[in-house]
Every structure is written in C-alpha cells, then in structure tokens.
C-alpha cells in the first residue's frame, strides 16, 4: 500500500529505525535511511531497507547539526518529495542531574528533539500542498512520565510529544480523506531490545548474567516483564501510514507493557 511513496527514517542503521525502514520498504515505499555505522553495518541496513519500491539510499547527516539536516532534506526533496518522515534517531545518557555534563544536555536535546523540528519544518509544507503526509516521531514512555537520572532524555521526549501535537494541529485540515490526510503522531515505547539500552542492562547485572540484568530492568517499571522487539514498534508505525489512519493525528501511543498505566 506504500507503492510510489518516498520515506525518510532517521537513525535507521540500527534498532527500531532499521525495523521501521525494513517494514516501509516491504510495503512498497522507496526508503532513505540516515544514521551512523561502519560501512558493513550501513550496507546491511541498505539491503534491508530496499524493496519493491527501489534501492534504499543512505545519508550520514549528523542530526545534532541543523545545517547537515537542511542539506540532507534538500538532497532528498531533489530526488522526489517526501511522503513519510520517521524521526527516530535518539541518544540517551543516564546519570544524576548533578553529574550530567552540559554538553550531554545540548546533544540529547538537539538529536532527540531539535532534529524533528528541522525535518518537519522542511517536509510538511510539501506534504500539505500534496494532501498526503505521515510523520511518525519515536518518543518514549519518557515522553509521558519521568524517571530519575534521565533529565535531558525525559525533557527531550516530553518536548517531542508536545511538538508533535502542535504540528499535528497546524496540518490537521491540510489533506482530504481521499488523499489520506496529513498526520503527525508519536510512538512511546517502553523497553525495546536494542543496543541503546545495553548500558542500562549492564548496570543491573550485579555480577550475574545479561538475562539477570534484563529481568531486573523489566521488574523496575514494565509490568508485562517482556521486552518489545523493534519489529513490534515497526508494525504500529506501518499502520499509522495506512489510509484508514487518516484521522489519527496528534496522538501518542504507548507500547510499554503497562508502564504508563501505573
Ligand atoms: P539504537 O541506538 O539502536 O539506534 C539509534 C540510531 O540513531 C542509530 O542508527 C544511530 O546511528 C542513530 N543516531 C544516533 N545519533 C545520531 C546523530 N547525531 N545523527 C544521526 N543519527 C544518529 O537505538 P534504538 O533503541 O533503536 O532507539 C531509536 C529511538 O527509539 C530513539 O529515539 C530512542 O530514544 C527511542 N526509544 C528506544 C527505547 C528502547 O528501549 N530501545 C525505548 C523508548 C524509546
């Protein structure tokens, strides 16, 4: 159902972003990926993000740098207007406030929140003019509730949920139902099995196995006691791109094993 659609997924060389890129490509979209990685990792991501819609392309823009984002967006639009933007790239730094380096605050806010502003500012006018657009911002449970030792991360993700609501309202009436509409939504995962959370698993091993670390991490906050897989998040992202999701906008979907129900 995404045949003829052009998609950008940021932070798609790993984890959740890679799974979303793969799902969009399998549904027929032509996908551009962004993110860091060694050449072999990028090659593998490009192969997974290629499908019936065409070969994937990679952009190595550092999303902490607005000028690099602008260049990436301009190059992408030269290659055909964007129909789908998934702002997924994100970083984490978990230490108490008094030990949080100011540079980490700047980096987390720039990558997790600022980058979404820049990509949306660039892509949404064209979506509005054409009457179809899907923006999916990968926030977190930390866009809905707080946790200690994650001040910049929690601030950035709450900011992303708010930013998405504001932009959703601006574009809510820009597309007709038949055209599919313009929607801007957040997905708010709890723990997902990706490299991002390995340091937090490691910190809870207490001399035991990795499995002990995973169990301890889940027991703190995620009542299902199960991790999500990147492909679980990707299937919700894919659904948000469907025509019948035209009236789902400004929403923030928790996929968190009950974390935010507590
Ligand atoms: P990951 O570490 O596996 O992937 C992060 C991706 O972002 C990589 O492709 C990396 O290269 C890219 N990236 C990092 N800094 C970048 C920069 N400056 N410029 C461009 N790309 C950059 O992480 P993940 O777990 O897949 O996380 C993806 C998103 O999901 C993040 O926004 C994260 O906050 C969010 N999230 C993850 C979890 C989880 O439990 N894993 C839970 C909630 C939300």
Considering the domain architecture, whether residues 218 and 124 belong to the same structural domain is answered as: no
From CA 142, how far away is CA 140, in angstroms rounded?
Answer: 5
DSSP codes, 68-114:
HHHHHHHHHHHTS--SEEEE---------GGG--HHHHHHHHIIIII
Q: Has residue 241 been placed in a domain? A: yes
Query: pLDDT tier at 24 (50, 70, 90 boundaries)?
Result: very high
| Residue 77 main-chain phi, psi, to 5 deg | -70, -30
| Residue 115 main-chain phi, psi, to 5 deg | -60, -35
Domain carrying residue 207: 197-227
Considering the domain architecture, whether residues 127 and 55 belong to the same structural domain is answered as: yes
Would residue 156 be called left, alpha or beta, if left means φ above 0 and alpha means ψ between -120 and 50 degrees? Answer: alpha
Q: Please name which of 168, 234, 247, 252 lies closest in space to residue 7, comparing C-alpha atoms.
A: 234
Considering the domain architecture, whether residues 99 and 208 belong to the same structural domain is answered as: no
Considering the domain architecture, whether residues 86 and 99 belong to the same structural domain is answered as: yes
Q: State percent of the chain over pLDDT 90.
A: 97
pLDDT of 257 over the 80 cut? yes
Q: What is the pLDDT of residue 176?
A: 81
Considering the domain architecture, whether residues 170 and 136 belong to the same structural domain is answered as: yes
Q: Please name which of 17, 10, 21, 234 lies closest in space to residue 119, comparing C-alpha atoms.
A: 10
Residues with a CB atom less than 6 Å from ligand 1: 11-17, 34-37, 62-64, 88-91, 111-112, 138, 140, 189, 191-192, 194-197
pLDDT of 7 over the 80 cut? yes
Considering the domain architecture, whether residues 102 and 207 belong to the same structural domain is answered as: no
Q: Has residue 53 been placed in a domain? A: yes
- The average pLDDT across 164-192 equals 94
Domain containing residue 72: CATH number: 3.40.50.720
Counting atoms of ligand 1 from 1, which one is nearest the CA of 230? Answer: 26
Active site residue 153: yes
CA 14 – ligand 1 centroid, Å:
7
CA 77 – ligand 1 centroid, Å:
24
The interface predicted TM-score of the complex, written ipTM, equals: 0.99
CA 181 – ligand 1 centroid, Å:
28
- The average pLDDT across 87-113 equals 98
Is the pTM value of this prediction over 0.90?
yes
Considering the domain architecture, whether residues 157 and 220 belong to the same structural domain is answered as: no
Considering the domain architecture, whether residues 102 and 215 belong to the same structural domain is answered as: no
Considering the domain architecture, whether residues 201 and 186 belong to the same structural domain is answered as: no
Considering the domain architecture, whether residues 162 and 233 belong to the same structural domain is answered as: yes
């Amino acid at each position: 159902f995404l045949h003829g659609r052009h998609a950008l997924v940021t932070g798609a060389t790993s984890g959740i972003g890679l799974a979303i890129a793969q799902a969009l490509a399998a549904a027929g979209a032509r996908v551009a990926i962004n993110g860091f990685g060694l050449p072999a990792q990028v090659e593998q991501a490009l192969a997974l993000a290629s499908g019936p819609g065409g070969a994937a392309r990679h952009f190595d823009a550092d999303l902490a740098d607005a000028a690099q984002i602008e260049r990436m967006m301009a190059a992408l639009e030269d290659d055909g207007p964007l129909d789908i933007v998934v702002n997924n790239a994100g970083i984490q730094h978990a230490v108490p406030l008094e030990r949080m380096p100011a540079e980490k605050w700047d980096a987390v806010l720039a990558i997790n929140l600022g980058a979404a502003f820049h990509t949306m500012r660039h892509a949404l006018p064209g979506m509005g003019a054409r009457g179809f657009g899907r923006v999916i911002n990968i926030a977190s449970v930390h866009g809905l509730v707080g946790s200690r030792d994650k001040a910049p991360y929690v601030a950035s993700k709450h900011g992303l949920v708010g930013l998405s609501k504001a932009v959703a309202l601006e574009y809510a009436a820009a597309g007709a139902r038949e055209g599919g509409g313009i929607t801007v939504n957040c997905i708010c995962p709890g723990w997902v099995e990706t490299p991002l959370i390995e340091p937090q698993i490691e910190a809870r091993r207490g001399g035991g196995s990795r499995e002990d670390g995973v169990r301890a991490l889940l027991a703190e906050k995620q009542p299902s006691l199960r991790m999500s897989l990147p492909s679980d998040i990707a299937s919700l992202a894919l659904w948000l791109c469907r025509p019948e999701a035209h009236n789902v906008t400004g929403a923030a979907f928790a996929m968190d094993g009950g974390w935010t129900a507590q």
